[in-house]
Amino acid sequence: MARTGLFISHAHEDRDLAGALRQLLEDALRPANVDITCTSDADYGLERGADLKEQIEQRLESAKALFLLATPASRHKDWVQFECAYAESIPDLKFYILVATSSRDESVPAPYNNDVTVALTSGADVFAFVKQLRRTFEIVEDGEYAYVPSLLDLVDRCTALALERVDAARREQTDQHGAVVQRQRMWHMAGGLIASVLALAGGLGIGQLRIADLRTEHAATLEAVRREMSDQNLRAEQARDAELKSLPFSGVFQDGLSHLVRCTEVEARVPDGTGGTERKVQRQCDDSGMFAFPGHELQADPRERILLKVIVGSRRYELPVTRADARLALALPVVH
């Protein structure tokens, strides 16, 4: 009996992402009649009351592939580690690592640091992976690509997760800066109080000199800390911007009836931030009608508004979007 099962290894906290991945696999591999195990989904999970470890082992032994949904939440989960370790012991079981954030280091478990991974924040990478997966299951391409909506939904969710983590890191950096500055202010106030006590205890002349020395010392210390934290904030902001701009941007176009429209070419006009000028980046659409801009090529903040010029056959469209937009409806007038 051929093994056609699929097993999604994930943390329970990532159940929404796992559900989006399950939907993509179901849509992409439906002709192969696959049996998908996704333990956080009641309809695709394990039998209640039965031995969980035994059920997981049985599901993996009948599976053709395991998909590790690598996130910061799943990286140290005992059950995820068990599932992956058991899967590695099964001959011919394919093992795929799908990274849901923009950072492999915070998501991929240590044993798999050097393994090839799929970036779920990149629509182009996910699309190429799905095509490879369909070939593995011997599914002949029909040119319809009915799985593209669920593919974009998964990419959207993972991109949102990546942005949330970048923003959370930025907030943590800001909070740390505020705490350090507050401590320095308290030290400065304490220094002034100590100096005042010394003035009363040791005589006016000596006390005044000591007060001046302490105030100068603490003011210099506070200013040095402020400069250091400002530099750290600047570096953190620059790192955040660089990480955001490294995120790829991909998608498809739909008409007013939500039908897929296959474009020929897409040109993105990105503000360069100097004098109101723009950069032009062009990409050809692939056979499915998907466009994909690598992050290092586009270099635009996901929340920054850019203008897309789209060629569909002999028609041209203009569409202002942000990179957070996924399904782009061509509802604008033709531009000659």
- What pLDDT does 336 receive? 42
Per residue in 16-47, pLDDT (tens digit) is 999 999 999 999 998 887 899 998 888 888 87
In a domain, 158, yes or no: no
Q: Are residues 233 and 267 in the same domain?
A: no
28, burial (CB in 10 Å: exposed 0-12, middle 13-18, buried 19+): buried
The pTM assigned to this predicted structure is 0.65
Provide the CATH number for the domain around residue 66. Answer: 3.40.50.10140
Which of 95, 112, 146 is the C-terminal boundary of a domain?
A: 146
- What pLDDT does 212 receive? 59
Stated as kind and residue range, the H or E segment containing 253 is: strand 249-254
For residue 184, the Cα-to-chain-centroid distance in whole angstroms is 36
Overall average pLDDT of the 262-286 stretch: 83
Which of 226, 244, 262 is the C-terminal boundary of a domain?
A: 244
Show Cβ contacts of residue 67 under 8 Å, excluding neighbours closer than 6 positions: 6, 7, 8, 9, 21, 25, 96, 98
In a domain, 138, yes or no: yes
DSSP letter for each residue of 82-136: HHHHHHHTSTT-EEEEEE-SS-STTTS-GGGTTS--EETT-HHHHHHHHHHHHHH
Which of 244, 276, 311 is the C-terminal boundary of a domain?
A: 244
Rounded CA separation 323/294 (Å): 12
Q: Are residues 287 and 302 in the same domain?
A: yes
Q: Are residues 267 and 320 in the same domain?
A: yes
Cβ distance 324 to 251 under 8 Å?
no
Rounded CA separation 77/39 (Å): 14
Per residue in 136-166, pLDDT (tens digit) is 888 887 777 788 888 888 988 888 888 787 7
Residue 243 or 176, more confident: 243
Residue ranges making up the domain that contains 280: 249-329
In a domain, 79, yes or no: yes
Domain count, the chain: 3
Q: Are residues 239 and 265 in the same domain?
A: no
- What pLDDT does 202 receive? 54
What the block records as the tokens of 23 is: 């939907």
Residue 155 or 327, more confident: 155
Rounded CA separation 175/94 (Å): 44
CA atoms 281, 282, 287, 288: torsion sign: positive
In a domain, 335, yes or no: no
Q: Are residues 66 and 181 in the same domain?
A: no
Q: Are residues 12 and 136 in the same domain?
A: yes
Q: Which residues of 108-121 are buried (b: 16+ CB within 10 A; e: fewer)?
A: bbeebeeeebbbbb
What the block records as the tokens of 317 is: 């469209």
**Residue 43: how many CB atoms within 10 A of its CB?**
7
pLDDT band at 335 (very low <50, low <70, confident <90, very high): very low
Cβ distance 19 to 157 under 8 Å?
no
Kindly report the CA angle at 290 between 137 and 157, in degrees rounded to 5?
Answer: 80
Q: Which of 6-15, 165-174, 200-209, 229-238 has the lowest mean pLDDT?
A: 200-209
In a domain, 82, yes or no: yes
Stated as kind and residue range, the H or E segment containing 80 is: helix 78-88
Rounded CA separation 172/89 (Å): 41
